[in-house]
Every structure is written in C-alpha cells, then in structure tokens.
Structure 1
Amino acid sequence: MNWKKPITSSLKSLSLSIALVCAGTYIAHAETVGEPEKEELKFGFIKLTDMAPIAIAYENGYFEDEGLYVTIEAQANWKVLLNGVIDGTLDGAHMLAGQPIAATMGYGTKAHIITPFSMDLNGNAITVSNDIWKKMKPNIPKMADGRPVHPIKADSLKPVIESLASEGKPFKMGMVFPVSTHNYELRYWLAAGGIHPGYYAPHKGDNSGQIDAQALLSVTPPPQMPSTMEAGTIHGYCVGEPWNQQAVFKGIGVPVVTDYEIWKNNPEKVFGITAAFAEKYPNTTIRLTRALIRAAKWLDDNSNANRPAAVKILSQSNYVGADYDVIANSMTGTFEYEKGDKRAVPDFNVFFRYNATYPYYSDAIWYLTQMRRWGQISDDKSDQWYKDLAAKVYRPDIYAKAAQSLIDDKLIPANEFPDFTKENGFKAPQQHFIDDIVYDGNQPNAYLEKFKLGLKKGDKL
C-alpha cells in the first residue's frame, strides 16, 4: 500500500509556497481548475509494467501537486479490480480498455464506466512453450544470420495445431480476460494465420469463447502465465510485460510476436472511473487526469531517458515486483525473443508520444468490432450504435480540459497534444496490421466484412 499526504488549499499560503520553492518542491496551482471535491483517493492496478503512469504520478509527486491524497493497491485479478471500481472500494483503476466498454454495454456486468485517459500503446506479446516453438521454427523464414524473420505469423503455428489435433490433443492458450486487449490481439493473430479462435454465444449462455475453436483460449491472471505454461496447462499465452520476458529469463518459452507487430501503436490500457464519480467530482477528475498526463510524458521524455529510473520503481514489490533486468528488457527499448535474440523495439512501450494518452473514439470502436466479430455482441449493430457507445465511455472532453490547463500552467507545451480545435476523436484509417487490413473507425461494419474468419452482417450463432 502506498500513500502520501495531500496538499490542500490551506497549504497554499505565501509563506509555505516560498518554503516549498526553497526546498525544491514544485506545486502546480492549476488556476484554471477548481479545488478537488474529493482529496482522498484509492486506485487499483494489476502487476504489469503498463501501470507505470500511476506509479510515476505517485512517486514523482504529481498527485500531491494536484491536492490529491492517493493510496495505490495491487488487485488480485481484473474481475476483482473492476468490481472494486463499480462498488466504490476503488475510486479508479488501471483497466483493460475493453472493461469500461463491456461494462457500459452490459456484457458480463452492467455499470457505466468511463475513461478520460488512455494509459499506453503496445506493450503485449504472444509467447509459446519451448516445445511448440521447436515445432514452429522449421515453418518460419530465416534471415542471413539464421535468426527468424519477424513478424512471425500464425501461419507457422497452424501445422503444429493440426498435428496435435490429429493425435486428439487440443491446443490451449491463455489470455488475461474475455474483454482484454490480449484476447482480441491473440484472436486477431490466430485468425490472420487461418486458425479459428472460437466464438462466444452469450445469448445462449455460452461465454467460453470456444465454439468452433481450433485453439482453445482461457483466462489466466498475468503473473501466473509463465508458471501455468511451465506446468503444461497451456501451450502459450498473450500477456503484457514483464511476463513474456520472464519466460525468456526462466528458459521456459519464446515470445514469437509483439502486439506492435500485430497492430502498430495499438491502444492498450486505460484509466477507468465510474461516470457517477466524474459527475460528482469533476475537478478531482480533471486533476487526476493532469497528474497521469504528466507521468506519461515523464516516462517518454528525452527518448525514454527516464526509463531506467522507472524500471527501478516498478521492480519494487508493491508495484510489479519482477526483477529489474526482466522489466528493463522491454521497458528500455529492446525486446528479447528467443534466448539471446534481443532486438531494438524502441516503441514496445509508449506512454505519451503519438498522442498515446488521448482517448480516441476510434480505439473504443475497434474493441467493439472485435466483440462483434467473435460473438460477444450477438446481433448486428449500426455504425451509429458503435459511435454512440464509444462516446459514452471514452471522454476526450475531460482529457482536453486537463491538457489545456497543463498548457495554461506552462507545464506541457501545446504542440505535444492534439489540436483540440480540430480533433474529432477519430484517427485516420490505420494500415499497420499483420494482415494488411485497413481499419477506419468511421465504418465499423464495412471493416468487419473484410475478415475471412469472424461474424459478418446477418450472422448469429
């Protein structure tokens, strides 16, 4: 558990301000933002490196600068974390991007959750066991030095799965939650290689996600992924760091593809709060968003120059709790695939550049298209339905207020944010997917029609 004393309005006297300046402490007054309505806050997270903005906002005093007294607490799993935000045990949390979308839609649970802040881009990978890797390797093209050509596509895995099936053995993989980025990225990669990852049929009471599946996907909490694979319960998994690099360090598996290679600069986690919290505590919401934006910028400043310091913080047991070297392997701009095959991947973790923190409607809509593709949304929906639901959950209006106040306070220059006078919440059509299919968030139904595998217009299980 972490906590720090809040800086309240009573501490803003001239004498104390002078004393704090002399002591080298900076207080962001944020004169364009009112005082926080709620100062004592409790935030939850899962032990993954992409919770870093919360840890850095705490450790660097950015929450304090906003007059916020914050307690940070690791949660057992994503379900416990979501329930904590819904029941008010937690004021906010590091969340899977699909969680606030699914909850607001009513899939799994029903609660109006919003996000004013996207926590990062990229950061995940797909790892397979040594045995599966040995069988995949002959199917993968090689470079002149003998190393595999990346990105490695699931085409190389398909004959391995078919061989296991001929022996009556199912192929099993882990992902972290049914509405996680990891589930959709894993499904996307498998399907792009012609491997069916299975359908959901909630209208029939079947939430296994394994209908017609050639690869059986199931939930495993992130820190348990390596040990579960080592035990032989699963053949591989999709998870965030440091749990792919942990497999390399332990010598039990090989990360075969990163999510950066599946979808370049894909959105990952978000910071989730209830809509009721944002409505009741608007100043607090803007202030916590300000602190998180500052933390994200610090993490990416000067070409990731602060990453070693961030890794040291994250390696503490109260945060991620993995060895420094394991976390650093991906957080500092490299990624190790097969043991000894370390390659430069400077954008494996992105926290601020490329407008990573802005909550784009089109990001939310992509998640919704994958929910429809694999049956979590049972029926056809209009393009407008997708857009309306995205706007209920993703709140760029709150983000823009927080960002503008940081600009006004001269903490971050305006050119490091989107142009809010022109921004409509939709990214330009995105082309960098492993299957070369272009995604346009303005046309979700047309996008779904492009896939060979997955539900299309009129389909219902």
Structure 2
Amino acid sequence: MVISNKSNRRHFIKKAALAVGSALLLGGSLLPASVMAELGEPEKEELKFGFIKLTDMAPLAIAYEKGYFEDEGLYVTLEAQANWKVLLDGVIDGQLDGAHMLAGQPLAATIGFGTKAHIVTPLSMDLNGNGITVSNEIWEKMKAHVPMGEDGKPVHPIKADYLKPVVEEYKKEGKPFNMGMVFPVSTHNYELRYWLAAGGIHPGYYAPAKGDITGQIDADALLSVTPPPQMPATLEAGTIYGYCVGEPWNQQAVFKGIGVPVITDYEIWKDNPEKVFGMTKEFTETYPNTTVRVVKAMLRAAKWLDENDNANRMEAVKILSKSQYVGADADVIANSMTGTFEYEKGDKREVPDFNVFFRYFATYPYYSDAVWYLSQMRRWGQIAEPKSDDWYMETAKSVYRPDIYQKAAEALIEEGTLSADEFPDFATETGFRAPQSEFIDEVTFDGTKPNEYLEKFSIGLKGEEVIK
C-alpha cells in the first residue's frame, strides 16, 4: 500500500499563499528572517519513505496525516515494506529516501555487518514498545516458578530465571527450544538475548568470520528471524515457543488466545531507544535543507503523539489501524498505545510509558544509545574482533547525527512551534546519557566505557575473546 500527499499539493500551495498574505497584512512574516536564511528551501520536494507495519512507525503516519511534511514544502509518499532487509536495501539503492528503521540497522550497515553502506540517524523515533511473548503451553510450565502476588496474579517483572527450568527440560528431551525475533540487528534480538542471558539461558553466538550468521553457536535457546506480522501464526503453529516483537503483535497473541506476553522491554531496560529514522549519508549531504525539514516534521508529530498526557493517542490508534499503516484491529493497537498493556487475558496493567515518542528527549539521537547497540553486537559475536573504546565512539558519531537534529529543533524553537525546554540543552549536551542502571539484571551501562561494560557479563564475549 502506497500513501502519497502529492495530490494535496494544490491545497497546500493555496493554504501557504493565504498564510503569507495574512502575515504580510499583519506586518509580519511566516518565519523569523534568521530561520528562513539559515534553513533555506528544500532541495528535493518529492520524497518516498519506507516503514514496517508496527505501531512505532506512528511519527511518519502522523507527520503525513497532520500535514507537517507539507508545512515544510515536502510531498511525501509512505510505503509499507515486506521486511527489514527489503526496507534497508530500498534506502541504500535510492528507491526510498529514508525509512523507519531498527536502531541497529544504520550501525550494522555502516560497519559492514550484512550490507555495507553509510547510513545515518538524525532522529530517534521512540522509546520502549516491545514485548516478549511465550505460547500458552510454555507459560503454564513457567508459572510453576513465577512468584504470585496477593491478588493471585504474577509479580512483575517476570525474569528468564523462570523460563530456564523449561528450557533445560526441553534440552534433556533432545528438543530444540526455538524462539523468534525480527532481524539479526534488531532491538528485539538484543533485548531477547539480554533477558535470556540475565536468566542464565545462553542465546548463542554469531561467527561471521567463519560464515556462521545463524547466531546459534553454544545456544540453549535457538533464535531465528520471523517477520513481525507472522509472529502470532508461527507461535500458534508451534514452530516457535516464544518471540520478541513490537506492537501490536504481542497484544495480538492475547487477543487470539494463543500466547502470553511475559515482559515488556520497558522492564528489561527502562526507557530504551527503539526505532530510528535512517537515511544515507549521501542523501543528507546532497539535500541538507530537505533533511532538516524532514526532521522538523517528525519532531512535531512526536510531540503531538505525547502531548497532554497522551490525549491524542486514541486518534492515533484510529489512524494506525488503517490498512495502509499497521492494519490491525484498533482495540488491539489501543491495548498498548493508550498506556496499558495486557499480559494474560484479563490481566491488563497500567504501563503509561509503554510507547514514548517525545518526552524524556526520546527523539534525540544519543551517541550512548549507539554504543549500547554496538556493545551488544560485540557481546554476541556480530563484531567478531575486540574493539577499542575509541572505535565505539567514532562509529557512534559517524552514524548518529545530533547536529542535524539540533538544526531542526532550533528552527522549531525560533518559529515558536516548540519550546527550548522540550529539547536537551544544546550548549552543554555531550550526546551521552548519564550512566543507566535500570536494567533487569541491575548492571549499569556507561556509554563512555563500552569495554568495561562488557566485562560485567558472565555470558557473552568480552576483552580479547573471539569465536574459533
């Protein structure tokens, strides 16, 4: 399904002309002269952006539906992609001008894990938004080990410690314990691995130098790729026993009565970065004004999604439920998008930050976020050789582009569309978050010390270790 606003161009031009006329009558101008001079007109007006049918593509849908792209003089086509590889290839070969991406994709492409291409990230699209679901059969086996509250409901967070006896039972019986994730460099892969390893379950190593890209070397649980919309059906068929995916595909399992989400990524790593907006470095250099204007539009969309304590979320749910966007039942999308999350059928709990698009500086492309993903690539062997801390810093700074973000933010501030307190203090911001300790295993992550961080884990590569 292709969504385009090209047909609205005449309406936009008319609206813009009226606005200019009104501004001149009032003796003013649409924008402060300094912003107009600094930013300039878009070098490329007609753009095509790709996305995967997940609720966290929302900033693209909202920027389109609310006319924020048009306000920047951009005529955008949105096009759903079959899978993450097709999406990335489309950006690399120029069929797409940018896309909703897994946070690990620009980093992996830039360092050459998989397809080699320099992709940059001028905007982070959201925090949180994923969950881990297991089949009803596995949940019944896990429940024997899960502590229960006075209300008879499971005490959260549910750790992988409670899954470990089940995995060991399958191993003794000679049955592989199969789980799904959406892509080798997806947040979902790293979150699922993090959760499993924190519970003493080895999720396996990659060995690209040996040609082994399955990620199943030494694994207790065997992880493989399943496209997000196919997760529930694959679980129901018994091909996998659990999966990590974004919404609405965890809630879909509850809705269909085929599985139980046991934990959200918010509980694995509080306020973790999730998707990003990715473009080739070449595009951002060839069309700098266009790039900044794209970021401006998406910042406005992110703000709309979170403002007034998520007051706009039900409207967003109706938009996302359309077939050209996520195409899932509105009730299923609303389960997580409106500040709740349903675990077992009937066990719906308040999780107001399950989806965060703007607050907590969610849109800022922090270098430390990039370093965390790179550290996990190293931990599981996707980065086969040891790397210095300097290498992590240089790679992060070549991909994450807060300089582009800052231009967009400052233009919005000067226009009066957004306020300075809604962004980091650009005069003092280093790009590194303060050390973060709210992980399920309580291991603290300091983005300035990636190798020291890796040393803290009992499962995973560190130091000079390589897979032989």
- Cα distance in 1 between the residues matched to 2:326 and 2:24: 33
Identify the residue that residue 228 of structure 2 maps to in structure 1. Answer: 222
SS of aligned partner of 2:73: coil
Identify the residue that residue 87 of structure 1 maps to in structure 2. Answer: 93
Q: Tell me if 1:34 matches 2:35.
A: no
- Cα distance in 1 between the residues matched to 2:46 and 2:22: 24
Q: Match for 1:263 among 250, 254, 269?
A: 269
Match of 2:154, as an amino acid? P
Name stretches of at least 5 consecutive residues in structure 2 with no aligned partner.
none
* TM superposition shift of 1:330: 0.1
CA contact (8 A) 1:28 1:65 kept: no
CA contact (8 A) 1:153 1:193 kept: yes
Identify the residue that residue 3 of structure 2 maps to in structure 1. Answer: 2
* TM superposition shift of 1:394: 0.2
Q: Tell me if 1:119 matches 2:125.
A: yes
* TM superposition shift of 1:3: 1.2
CA contact (8 A) 1:55 1:314 kept: yes
Identify the residue that residue 397 of structure 2 maps to in structure 1. Answer: 391
Match of 1:4, as an amino acid? N
Q: Match for 2:242 among 236, 259, 282?
A: 236
SS of aligned partner of 1:138: coil
**Cα-Cα RMSD:** 1.8
- TM-score, normalisation: structure 1: 0.97
Identify the residue that residue 284 of structure 2 maps to in structure 1. Answer: 278
* TM superposition shift of 1:4: 1.3
* TM superposition shift of 1:235: 0.3
* TM superposition shift of 1:21: 12
CA contact (8 A) 1:200 1:376 kept: yes
CA contact (8 A) 1:164 1:170 kept: yes
SS of aligned partner of 1:237: strand
- Cα distance in 1 between the residues matched to 2:30 and 2:324: 26
CA contact (8 A) 1:125 1:259 kept: yes
- Cα distance in 1 between the residues matched to 2:52 and 2:72: 24
Q: Tell me if 1:338 matches 2:339.
A: no
- Cα distance in 1 between the residues matched to 2:381 and 2:287: 36
- Cα distance in 1 between the residues matched to 2:99 and 2:445: 29
- Cα distance in 2 between the residues matched to 1:50 and 1:125: 13
CA contact (8 A) 1:53 1:296 kept: yes
- Cα distance in 1 between the residues matched to 2:272 and 2:159: 17
CA contact (8 A) 1:103 1:113 kept: yes
Q: Match for 2:210 among 184, 200, 204?
A: 204
Alpha-carbon spacing, 1:21–1:95, altered in 2? closer, same or farther (3 Å) = farther
Match of 1:455, as an amino acid? L
Q: Match for 1:164 among 166, 170, 191?
A: 170
CA contact (8 A) 1:95 1:269 kept: yes
Could you tell me the percent identity over the aligned residues?
Answer: 73
Match of 1:43, as an amino acid? F
Equivalent residues, number? 458
Q: Match for 1:104 among 101, 105, 110?
A: 110
Identify the residue that residue 20 of structure 2 maps to in structure 1. Answer: 17
Q: Match for 1:320 among 321, 326, 330?
A: 326
Q: Match for 1:59 among 42, 65, 74?
A: 65
CA contact (8 A) 2:127 2:356 kept: yes
CA contact (8 A) 2:3 2:78 kept: yes
Identify the residue that residue 335 of structure 2 maps to in structure 1. Answer: 329
CA contact (8 A) 1:27 1:65 kept: no
- Cα distance in 2 between the residues matched to 1:374 and 1:121: 23
* TM superposition shift of 1:17: 3.4
CA contact (8 A) 2:19 2:30 kept: no
SS of aligned partner of 1:70: strand
- Cα distance in 2 between the residues matched to 1:204 and 1:268: 30
- Cα distance in 1 between the residues matched to 2:434 and 2:268: 18
- Cα distance in 1 between the residues matched to 2:403 and 2:162: 44
Q: Deviations over 1:230-267 (max 9, x none)?
A: 00110010000000000000000000000000000000
- Cα distance in 2 between the residues matched to 1:82 and 1:170: 31
- Cα distance in 1 between the residues matched to 2:61 and 2:326: 10
- TM-score, normalisation: structure 2: 0.95
